[in-house]
Amino acid sequence: MPFMRKITLTVFLLVLLVGSFLLGSWYSRQRTEKGNPQGAKSSAVVVGNNPDTHTHTNTATDTSSLPPGTVNVSPEKQQLIGVKIATVEKASWNPTLRLLGRVAPDENHIYRINSATDGWVKKILPVTTGSLVKKDELLATFFSPEFFSGIKAYLFGLRSLDRFEASRKETKEQLEQTGANIENYRNALRNLGMTEYQLDEIMRTRQGADNIEIRAPAAGFILARNLSPGQRFEKGTELFRIADLSKVWIVADMFENEAQYLPQGRSVKVSLPHQKKIFQAKVSNVLPQFDEATRTLKVRLEADNPDYTLRPNMFVDVELPISLPPAIAVPADAVLDSGLKKTVFVDHGKGIFEPREVETGWRIGNRVEIINGLKPGEQIVLSGNFLIDSETRLELAAAGMVGTLSRDPVCGTDVSVSKAEKAGRRIKFDEVTYYFCSDECKEQFNKKPAYYVKKPK
């Protein structure tokens, strides 16, 4: 039901906009008729490709060379729909690529403490998720009978070594063998989960231990704690997960066409919103991972975090200055993207607007590069183009009922057959009649018609 409400609301808004547009057109026509009570004839201009559709203006403008769908919008109507015009320029661009990043622990500095035996929790220190701990800091103790035989063997080896060193009667080979046995006992206890700190403590005191200690393997933040007092755990259970956050990763989402601006090793600026803190990060040499759900590339940045300001899952802003070669770039709102083609409206003055299909390149921020379709100095519509497009579609619909369209073989523009016939822009070649949008295209075709007839579409 919420989805149906959204559809209904969208349809209502579209009807309201088109209704306002048509009401403005009717109001303008009524004012024109009232202002010309004597029936004085005003010059009529055929706009688009419908010879029977006339848009009245005070200036006789020849639009026969303009492509189908060209419309004439009065100044009053332009003001009503909020048309804004800008001049196309070709210039060098130095935009800033802004991305959203998420802080993640460096996987190279994540430590997982797993149980190698079954056991019972005896004591837990007051450390919880998010606590900062130091290396070898005591986290918890537990009891497990599997350590008894290992601890006894370790103590027997240590005490045997003490006796040998005191008597000094054993051979060098005996001492070396005893030292090797002690190291084997240490390895056995280490494999069961005893820390180096506790092993060294037993060696120092020559005393056994009833409870096994769990200590932090490195300084960092506790990401997970899966123990509680008296809890029984099984072999393989993750007891603690600790991350050293002195170095972190920042995962930034970017579109495929933007990946070229973040080569490996490049430095970028990272900032925390609302905290006015800036960090320097470097693009990792790991290839970006593609996320099929968001259709974006996930680029990994590496940053130092000495004050632990950046915490896991924080969002940060990533800024990357870019220097681009001279290009025609227009605001993204000026381009109407139907999915099949991209269109801008070119202002020819005196209310004449031509729909122009364009080819786009990069898009950064609110600017889109125009590769083909526009020239510097032309005027284009920045806002109000949606309603102009609606009127263009009406023109094309009318042309489809009363006129015929043909494609100019030279430039590929759709041409109104009736308008081309009227302007004399047609040539018959090999029993086929070709129509042209301008005299220049007609002249080029006339020079080498075979080339343009065989030219791939």
pLDDT of residue 302: 94
DSSP at 333: G
pLDDT of residue 142: 95
Q: How many CB atoms lie within 10 A of CB 162?
A: 11
Helix (H) or strand (E) holding 122: strand 119-124
Q: Which two tokens stand for residue 232?
A: 């029984």
Provide DSSP, 177-208.
HHHHHHHHHHHHHHHHT--HHHHHHHHHH---
Q: Using CA atoms, how far apart are residues 268 and 280, in angstroms rounded to an integer?
A: 6
Torsion of CA 141, 145, 149, 154, to 10 degrees: 0
Domain 108-243 architecture? Beta Barrel (2.40)
Q: Which two tokens stand for residue 23?
A: 């009401």
Q: Which two tokens stand for residue 419?
A: 């308008």
Of 447, 420, 448, give the one whose Cα is nearest residue 434.
Answer: 420
Distance of CA 26 to the CA centre of its chain: 44
pLDDT of residue 453: 81
pLDDT of residue 256: 79
Q: Using CA atoms, how far apart are residues 362 and 380, in angstroms rounded to an integer?
A: 19
Burial class (CB in 10 A: 0-12, 13-18, 19+), 334: buried
Q: Using CA atoms, how far apart are residues 374 and 367, in angstroms rounded to an integer?
A: 15
Q: Using CA atoms, how far apart are residues 381 and 78, in angstroms rounded to an integer?
A: 11
Helix (H) or strand (E) holding 329: strand 324-331
Q: Which two tokens stand for residue 75?
A: 């100044």
Q: Using CA atoms, how far apart are residues 362 and 310, in angstroms rounded to an integer?
A: 32
Q: Which two tokens stand for residue 127?
A: 């450390």
Q: Using CA atoms, how far apart are residues 351 and 81, in angstroms rounded to an integer?
A: 13
Q: Using CA atoms, how far apart are residues 95 and 136, in angstroms rounded to an integer?
A: 49
pLDDT of residue 234: 93
Q: Which two tokens stand for residue 29?
A: 């026509």
For 186-314, list the strands marked E by DSSP.
212-215, 220-225, 232-233, 238-243, 247-254, 267-272, 277-283, 289-291, 296-304
pLDDT of residue 399: 55
Q: Using CA atoms, how far apart are residues 64 and 71, in angstroms rounded to an integer?
A: 12
Q: Using CA atoms, how far apart are residues 398 and 126, in angstroms rounded to an integer?
A: 79
How do the pLDDT tens digits run along the chain, 457 residues long? 555 565 665 656 565 655 655 555 555 555 544 444 444 333 323 333 333 333 333 444 555 556 667 778 888 888 888 888 889 988 888 888 888 999 999 999 999 999 999 999 999 999 999 899 999 999 999 999 999 999 999 999 898 888 888 887 778 888 888 889 999 999 999 998 899 999 999 999 989 888 999 999 999 999 999 999 999 999 999 999 999 999 999 999 888 777 777 888 888 999 988 888 889 999 898 888 888 888 888 999 999 998 889 999 999 999 888 888 888 989 888 898 877 788 888 988 888 888 888 888 888 878 888 988 898 999 998 888 777 877 777 666 655 544 566 788 888 777 777 778 878 888 988 888 888 888 888 888 888 888 888 765 5
Q: Using CA atoms, how far apart are residues 42 and 185, in angstroms rounded to an integer?
A: 108
pTM higher than 0.85 for the full model?
no
Q: Which two tokens stand for residue 45?
A: 């201009």
Residues 438 and 419 sit within 8 Å (Cβ to Cβ): no
Helix (H) or strand (E) holding 442: helix 439-447
Amino acid, res. 429? F
Q: Which two tokens stand for residue 448?
A: 């080498």
pLDDT of residue 409: 85
